[in-house]
Amino acid sequence: MDQRDRDPVGERIAKDYRERPPRKITQDELNELSARVLRNKMRGSSDVERLERRLKDYTQRFNEQSKSDRSTGTGTGERSRKTEDDMTIEEMLREERTTGGTQRSIVKNIMKDKKYSNDLEYQEENSSKLSKYIKRGDVDLRSGDYHQTKKQIDALERCQLCIENEHCCEMVSMGETVYLTLAPKPELADFTTMIVPVRHLPNTLHCDETEWDEIKQYMVALSKFYYTRFNKAVVFYENSVNKNKHAAITCVPIPMSLSSSIRGYFKAAILEEADDFEQQHSPIIDTEGKNSTDGFRHSIAKEAPYFHVWFTLNGGMGHIVEDVKSWPSGDLFARQVLGGALKVDWYIIKKQAKWENIDTRVNEFSDMFTPYDWTMELQDH
């Protein structure tokens, strides 16, 4: 090519484009793509292989940029004296107290991983494992509150509702931000289900609008499913007393004959649990009588420990648990009320429910629920 025919500006632009660093992959993108892969696997979609290749590529790029960020000091902030690799746990905790959280993620990882080493090679080899804990849950370090934070991180690791964990329960339906699973055994009623946000949140009042839209769609779908398939009504409840647990709404089908009286069962039980120390709040909070379809969300503070039960899609009744230590542990309060109304054996009511490694109920429920599953509309997206 003649020198006069060359376009130096065009060549420089092309060169700059070729040398431009690839776009960074965020943890949110990885989480979203992982959820999409799981959803398509559950549906037997032909798109799974393509999505898995993309997930593999994104994961590799994310890990590589994590290594680069650590080596250059980007992403975690520059320090004039010591780098993350040089700091001890005590120094990181001290900096956490004085800088407002610049070391929050790395300290959480150290507390999570007992084998954690300051060796860069170890960090690089385990970057994928460690990075996922940075995004999981709204866990904060408070000044001097090391043991409480450790307890929260341990809860994340053991959580059977976190889809990142290998021992996660089996999902029977999955939306973009919320999924559906069968309740652990023993159930109070056949095909009891749970609506669960993908994010590890302390309760559903922390859910955003997108998550609540999907929760409502599951409520509507399950109401139609239980009525059409079994001629039953459904009670939805949430027990949010333990702030370290993963938020979930349990959905229990009940005979139509109980639909008008179940409210009385819960009211009597709540009043019985309320004691003389609970003076700050009314024992019963009516969330159905509000001039809104979201009465529940506007009636209870998300920071408060509470129990709430929906009798209709618009709401029901709530209770602020002020004496947490005296409240029945786990799910026992709701199991006692519903178990008594359904005449379930006391041994079943008080038994600690657990998920099985292989749940034989999943296929049967999935086949029945598919015609009502609103997430099927997402399959082609």
Indicate if 250 and 215 belong to the same structural domain: yes
pLDDT in tens, 326-355: 899 889 999 999 999 999 999 999 988 888
Instruction: Output the CA–CA distances (angstroms, integers) from residue 275 to 272, 285, 301, 302, 353, in the order listed.
Output: 8, 16, 21, 22, 28
pLDDT of amino acid 333: 95
Q: d(Cα 86, Cα 66) in Å, to the nearest integer? A: 18
pLDDT of amino acid 236: 97
Tell whether 164 is covered by a domain: no
Burial class (CB in 10 A: 0-12, 13-18, 19+), 283: middle
Nearest to 24 by CA among 62, 54, 51, 53: 62
Indicate if 43 and 94 belong to the same structural domain: no
Report the chain's mean pLDDT, rounded to a whole number: 76
Tell whether 245 is covered by a domain: yes
Q: d(Cα 207, Cα 295) in Å, to the nearest integer? A: 15
With bands split at pLDDT 50, 70 and 90, how would you rate the model's confidence at 78?
Answer: very low
Indicate if 318 and 344 belong to the same structural domain: yes
Pick from 129, 158, 187: which residue ends a domain? 158
Indicate if 175 and 28 belong to the same structural domain: no
With bands split at pLDDT 50, 70 and 90, how would you rate the model's confidence at 40?
Answer: low
Tell whether 163 is covered by a domain: no
DSSP 67: H
pTM for the structure as a whole = 0.65
Q: Is the pLDDT of residue 230 over 50?
A: yes
Indicate if 67 and 83 belong to the same structural domain: no
Indicate if 82 and 70 belong to the same structural domain: no
Structural domain harbouring 46 = 1-75
CB 33 within 8 A of CB 51: yes
Tell whether 324 is covered by a domain: yes
Q: d(Cα 88, Cα 218) in Å, to the nearest integer? A: 47
pLDDT in tens, 82-100: 554 555 544 554 444 444 3
Residue 364, SS3? Answer: helix
Pick from 136, 158, 180: which residue ends a domain? 158
**Percent share of the chain, pLDDT over 70:** 65
Q: Is the pLDDT of residue 45 over 70?
A: no
Tell whether 246 is covered by a domain: yes
pLDDT in tens, 168-209: 888 999 998 999 999 999 999 999 999 999 999 999 999 999
Indicate if 40 and 88 belong to the same structural domain: no
Indicate if 144 and 222 belong to the same structural domain: no
Tell whether 221 is covered by a domain: yes
Q: d(Cα 334, Cα 326) in Å, to the nearest integer? A: 15
Indicate if 228 and 344 belong to the same structural domain: yes
Q: d(Cα 226, Cα 253) in Å, to the nearest integer? A: 7
pLDDT of amino acid 145: 52
Indicate if 223 and 90 belong to the same structural domain: no
Indicate if 153 and 204 belong to the same structural domain: no
Q: d(Cα 5, Cα 170) in Å, to the nearest integer? A: 64
Tell whether 312 is covered by a domain: yes
Q: Is the pLDDT of residue 309 over 80?
A: yes
Pick from 24, 47, 75: which residue ends a domain? 75
Question: What total number of domains does the chain contain?
Answer: 3
Indicate if 334 and 279 belong to the same structural domain: yes
